[in-house]
Amino acid sequence: MWHAEFYFLACYICFMEEFCECGTTHKLSTEEIYVGHSAAQKLLDAIRLCEHRKVLVFYTQNSKNILSFIQDSLGFEIKTYLMQSEFASTLEAESIEDFGCDLVVAIGEERVISLAKFYAYSFEAELYILPMKDFLDYTFSSFCRLFDNARFSFYSSCEPKKIFVLSENCDHELQTIYIASKFIALFDGEVAECVFKQNFCARMKKFFSEALGTFLAGKCLSFEDQITKNIWLLIRLGQGMSFFGQTKYFFGGDQAISEQLCMMKKANYLEVETIALKLVVNAYSNFFASVPYQSSMNLNKHIDALSKLDKLSPTMVMNMLVDSQLLLSPDIRKRFLNYYPYLKNQLKTALGKVFSIQAKVDIKENYLKKFSFSAFHIEKSFALAGDIHSSPCTLHLLLNFGYMDKLL
């Protein structure tokens, strides 16, 4: 059911290159997408049929069985790179030697795919991917996420030419929570436009809204249908990131908190997102419960707290801070008060959709305990996340009104 329908939804913008009214030429070049139980076989067939015979496969221990299947079935030898680190870093990405291959294949978790994307981009190779377990929407985009010893950031990289996904190998419940967070992103996009005067491509806004609307409207006949439905939405959003050439609009304030938590513990993004989304939902709800009152913000206090929390020098923290207009601006506060009734209603709609998705998920694992996050870590991460988050969102309003200073 979902395969045919969502294949069309994910691919209707494929092979397009056109000039948009926003002044940018949008382009997407992914040629093949497959989701199903035969993804490994489809990947094998694609490698066999391609013109390349110098192939490099990135993999992890979790994907070793699929690598062995491909090695045993191909009629020629391939080179391999085993990723052992728990996260993709710029240090590792830049240290990998040139294997002289013209096709890169990535099999496994998001971290190894980001690493392979950077490599393929650096050495101008084509890229096939087979994501497993903790993949996200940007996994299917032309952007990779790497840690630079101070923070996680997105980098322009290689867009996958062919995508194959094993539908039974995914973190279904965690991905469902992650999808729920996209309605926070949609709301924060409204905040960015109304309050922070950000201009977004009208087609991109329509695409994002319609993709989420279609996801909510779709009916599932089985648990397997729901898994496949999730995967196709993530693919569609990732393809949208490539087509519109950005990731910012597709993430809300929860991303800032997730990134801050990941920086401290090098934790799994999908798992900490369950914590970040709860924090954002509660904070946004309370902030919009009544017209907020104005308090002061002490920027030096934030710099000092960030320096201690992330174990970075004050100079490095100052270089990471976002534009001061996001943190200290009377004009922003005035515009927010003008748009307050409208945004309050928009938030109510967004939270209703978040709750409707969350109600279908029952995650039993305690991720606070798994990563040893204390109350101190959570409180400070929440209070400081907006300081280094460059995409305008509601967290910056909380900073502007001085609400975060109370937690420092």
Q: Are the beta carbons of 170 and 227 closer than 8 angstroms? A: yes
Q: What is the mean pLDDT of residues 183-194?
A: 97
> CA-CA distance, 47 to 51, in Å (whole number)?
8
- Cβ-based neighbours of 213, under 8 Å, separated by 6 or more: none
Quick check: 119 pLDDT over 90? Answer: yes
- In the prediction, which pLDDT does 27 show? 83
Between residues 328 and 138, the one the model is more confident about = 138
Closest CA to 105 of 37, 168, 47: 47
Q: Are the beta carbons of 102 and 125 closer than 8 angstroms? A: yes
pLDDT band, residue 3 (cuts 50/70/90): very low
Residue type at position 5 = E
> CA-CA distance, 255 to 261, in Å (whole number)?
10
Quick check: 2 pLDDT over 60? Answer: no
> What would the pLDDT profile of 97-111 be if each residue is shown by its tens digit?
999 999 999 999 999
> What would the pLDDT profile of 271-280 be if each residue is shown by its tens digit?
999 999 999 9
- Cβ-based neighbours of 289, under 8 Å, separated by 6 or more: none
Beta-bridge partner residues of 128 = 105, 162
pLDDT band, residue 121 (cuts 50/70/90): very high
- In the prediction, which pLDDT does 5 show? 41
Closest CA to 53 of 142, 126, 121: 126
Q: What is the pTM of this model?
A: 0.92
Strands 103-108 and 152-156 come out as unpaired
pLDDT band, residue 6 (cuts 50/70/90): very low
